[in-house]
Amino acid sequence: MAVRFDVITLFPELFAPFQTVGVTRRAFESRAVDMRLWPLRDHAEGVYRRVDDRPFGGGPGMVMLVEPLVRCMRAIRADQSAGGAPRLPVILFSPAGKPLTQQRVQQLAEGPGAVLLCGRYEGIDQRFIDAHVDEEVSMGDYVLSGGELPALTLMDAVARLQPGVLHDAASHEQDSFSDGLLDCPHYSRPEVLSVPAQGDEPGVEAAVPDVLLSGHHAKIARWRREQQLAITARRRPELIDAARARGELSKKDEDFLSQLTL
Ligand code: 4FV
């Protein structure tokens, strides 16, 4: 199923790279991801076509106004209906949202899609959020100037999971988080690296782990799994607990973890 994203934004020009660069270009060209941009300014009225105003109660910054957003939503809903698309949920990007996870990305990748609401300024009038927003999603505990980069991030993560977008379909199955763990290290040519130090820059004198050159696929798979477990246990132990709770750790995994020095 194609995944449709209706993107409400004050800066549609920020979305050009998604359509022309990297693997997401393929997702866009194949219509695996159907992105429709809705410039909010088109739905502003009056001489100044205002989309924001000063906050009641005073304080710095501006707040995005309800009425242009309502008019924009009505246009989106009419377009969804006319195109036979379902009424898609509205996602607002905000530091107050639920952190985005690969599990949520995988759900979105199965379609049918969402309306992506890109805020600017201090944020959006709460009355619009209360009436129209189904889900708030955060990219992390920091503050951006707008929701456009979160929208691009989410669409990128969804697009790369679409059939035919990655050269090797198995690639995303080995991603970090695809099995709830962080990814293992990766190596490529040359087998033995000898890059001399230069000035303050250190050299790199290192070989590729022998097991990766062994051609023994079962041993390679085991080594990679143990690398994932070690990296995850040391950097994000809560992900180990979550995988255990889901019953996704084998006895071999548990035996390895029990002897691992953190
Ligand atoms: C954000 C984040 C974020 C806050 C005000 C947009 C900005 C402005 N979105 N994860 N962190 N949003 O900082 O998702 O409207």
**How many folded domains does the chain comprise?**
2
- Tell me the whole-structure pTM to 2 decimals: 0.92
Q: What is the DSSP letter of 257?
A: H
For residues 42 and 72, state if they share a domain.
Answer: yes
What CATH number should be reported for the domain holding residue 50? Answer: 3.40.1280.10
Burial class (CB in 10 A: 0-12, 13-18, 19+), 141: exposed
Q: Which of 135, 143, 152, 154 for mutating ligand 1's site (highest number of atoms within 8 Å of CB)? A: 143
How remote is the CA of residue 78 from the centroid of ligand 1, in Å?
Answer: 28
For residues 155 and 185, state if they share a domain.
Answer: no
Is 165 within a domain?
Answer: no
Angle at 178 between CA 173 and CA 184, to 5 degrees: 80
The residue segments making up the domain with residue 225 are: 176-259
For residues 251 and 210, state if they share a domain.
Answer: yes
124 vs 122: CA distance, rounded Å: 7
For residues 63 and 115, state if they share a domain.
Answer: yes
Torsion angles phi and psi, residue 41, rounded to 5: -60, -25
CA 139 to ligand 1: nearest atom: 10
Name the residues annotated as catalytic.
Answer: 95, 122, 160, 175
Residue-by-residue pLDDT tens, the chain, 262 positions: 799 999 999 999 999 988 899 989 999 999 999 999 999 999 999 999 999 999 999 999 999 999 999 999 999 999 999 999 999 999 999 999 999 999 999 999 999 999 999 999 999 999 999 999 999 999 999 999 999 999 999 999 999 999 988 877 666 666 667 789 999 999 999 999 889 999 999 998 889 999 999 999 999 999 999 999 999 999 999 999 999 999 999 999 999 999 999 9
For residues 107 and 215, state if they share a domain.
Answer: no
Torsion angles phi and psi, residue 73, rounded to 5: -60, -40
For residues 89 and 194, state if they share a domain.
Answer: no
What CATH number should be reported for the domain holding residue 248? Answer: 1.10.1270.20
For residues 87 and 190, state if they share a domain.
Answer: no
How remote is the CA of residue 38 from the centroid of ligand 1, in Å?
Answer: 19
For residues 99 and 152, state if they share a domain.
Answer: yes
